[in-house]
Amino acid sequence: MKTKAFDCVDMMHEGAAWVRSQLQGLTPEQRIAWWAERSDEFREYCDRLRREAAVRAQAEAPPAQP
């Protein structure tokens, strides 16, 4: 039988278990704050990736012809 090197379903379950462990014992207000903080972190991460991609694209672009 073939063994999977990567199992998406297992990864999803592990991620969900981590989130449950982080939220365990928090009040609804604390949970909302936790999700807001994670969302802000993700937004910043995406913005950084976009900036880095733009810099790479500009560096790789051929020079403009006059």
Ordered by start, the domain boundaries in the chain are: 26-60
Reported as a single tens digit per residue, the pLDDT across 1-59 is 677 788 999 999 999 999 999 999 999 999 999 999 999 999 999 999 999 999 999 88
pLDDT at 64 over 80: no
Q: What is the pLDDT of residue 1?
A: 65
* pTM, full prediction: 0.70
Which conformational region is residue 65 in: left (phi greater than 0), alpha (psi within -120 to 50 degrees), or beta?
Answer: beta
